Structure 1
Amino acid sequence: MLRFICSKLPQKLRHRPSKPSLANFFSTSSLKPTSELPNSKDPQSLTVSFRQNSCGLSFGSAILSSKKLNIENVKNTNSVLDLLRNHGLTQTHISNLIRIRPILLSADLENTLMTNMEVFESLGFSGSSLAKMLSKYPAVLESDAHTVVEYFRAHGFSKKQITTLTMKRPSLYLYNADKIFKPKLEFFKSLGFSDFEIAQLLSSEPCILTRSLENQIIPCVQELRRILSTDENVLKAIKACYPILESNMVHMLQPNIDTLKSHGVPQSLVLKVFFIRPTFLLICSNRFSEIVSEVMKLGFDPNCLSFVLAIRSMALNSKPLWEQKVEAFRSFGLSEVEIYAAFKRQPLCMTVSEKKIKKMMGFFVNKLKMKPSMISNCPNLLMHSLEKRIIPRCSVMQVLMLKGLIKEDIGIVYMVTMAEKKFVVKFVSKYQNEVPDVVRAHQGKIEFQGLPIAMEM
């Protein structure tokens, strides 16, 4: 009976094509030209098809974005896509851009999009750099970018600074320059900043331009005046740490200053902290108090600069990162006592990255045959550049030793820490006529193989 019923079923039912898989709906591997779009009078249907086939959106994304905007002028939208492609954006970039900002497809092509693209291209944005910037804030393509760029140029910003500012904070292009930026630039000028210094400040920390002048910047400066006494000191502090203008002075900075003073740090040293990049003061007060207690336990003197430098080093490291750096030193045979002795001698040695610690220790121990304890006794060695200073100097010593020209006893520490001018006079200029290779060695053009004669430690 069952066989009889099946034989009578219509062909269409017996051979119904299988449903397309979900993967097919989300595939963007093959993009159809606009000419192959369905001829539908329904704008939403046309929009969905267009965004799937020409923009590379998945079926789901196309449905969602079609609710925000219906395409009625396919010719304009194709021109928008061509514009994006012609400026180096890949199909993936374009898909992401349209998904975030579907209204771009109906934007004014000639008067807005093309003009803005030219502006961003003049600043050096194209391809991946353009895509990266636009992904942060795609609405900038609909702004008056030319006016904003010209405003910054008129106020002393270089092309490089405007480019940096654009990459960091593209949303600035949507602000009214005269209304939002002008009062802030005038305020910084009244503090004593030059146009050049204002451009430096704002290109480094463009978020300041988005902060309220009355509710954030002015109160912050007033609090700095109260702490630092003079406008000159306020200016120095801001130049040392631009982010201080964005800090919560009352609830974060002031409690941390009070903690320093309560542990015996004199006012003169607190002032000095503000002039050596006081970023470490801008952390949670509970964490700051914890760090100060740790530094006290290690025996640092609150009257010495090393006390606040030790706090700074700890504040710049999370607890796990601190332990990783301690372990990096320990892997070369240093005990915890030796590691913290090095920290007491040079607190900033713990601001060096874990990668650099391993690289530097490996070079000193394996290439120069130094005992690890020697480095813990002179942690300043870690504060220099391996590639730009230490290896070139070692290469110079290698050349001179092979020629038998180094007869006096010279210590490695002395050689590495010597002032650059003095090193050049003593070991490069003195021998460059007799041994021209010392110049090439000092320029890093001769590979360092190792010292043929052991140097003093």
Structure 2
Amino acid sequence: MTFRSCKSLSPVFHFIYDTHRIKHNTPTFYHFFETQSIANNSNFTEKQAFTISYLTKSCRLSLEFAISTSKKINTKSTEKPDSVLELLRLCAFTEKHIPRLISTYPNFILVDPERTLRPKIEYFESLTVFNVEKVMVPNIYYTLRAHSVPESHIGKIIILKPCALMLSVDVFKEVADAVKEMGFDPKTRSYLLVVSSMLAISKLNWEKKKEAYMSFGWSESDFNSAFKLELLCIISSKKKIRKVMDFFVNKAGLESRIIPRCSVLQVLMSKGLIGKDVDVVSVLNCNKKVFETRFLTKYKEVTPEVIKAYKGEVGFQGFNTGLYDNVESKMRVNGRYAGNSRELTIWCI
């Protein structure tokens, strides 16, 4: 594939470069000479020494930046990085642009040049200078920066989700404002993820999916809390949402089986009788006899409260830290007992 013209890409790349530049000193002959001793330096592993040498010689990073960057990435081969650099140079990146790009986004040098980088560049190539100046720039300067979104986060959405920034200025601002009103902090990584997720769905589809959740008794507050808990829940089709919700609410026994068991675990954890590394999925899936033997019969004499919890007489208030991470950020449960059916269900959708 041959790009139509490097000049057509330059305005976009220069905009990104100028917007996200960092202070960087181009390596001198002294730096290159100094890297020769890195391989013999006991402070660096063989892989790190190789990476530092590549970053200074091929990417022209200063020794200081190469050392700090080598702590974030490791490369065993130059094949993929060489292909990335070749593609960047083909697309009008100069020896001044490349080190600053790699210093800011170290993993960039390890992306697949054909499957990941080339499609992004082709997209940028399709943009006109007019679109960049009249759409992308206002969305960044007058919306994201107005909300105090960190420069590093803006840089990532430019690289990973550039199409989101090319939507109508009014639409982009409306969604960005709405996400902020939902309680997402613009300074966090999740903010732009939510913005891009909402921009990928039409307002009509958004409302239909929200209605699907609310048809099972959720309030709008429940829906917003669930969305904060698992951002991708809104990506699933309306059909899948209804199917999973129906399974948990009507077939799996959310109120009669899952919440009582979680209440028992909550009591035992609070007493220090079981660790927070318990396999929750396994506990929820085991049969009644196994669960009762393992968690009721064994502990009822020590803490009779487990029986009350199992009968639903002890409200489930949510697990504390530790357990959530153990199930890959899929089952965090906080807040009121009435809201826990929402939180225990959403991770499966």
TM tier, smaller: 0.3 to 0.5
Pick the structure with greater CA Rg: 1
Higher relative contact order (CA 8 A, sep 6+): 2
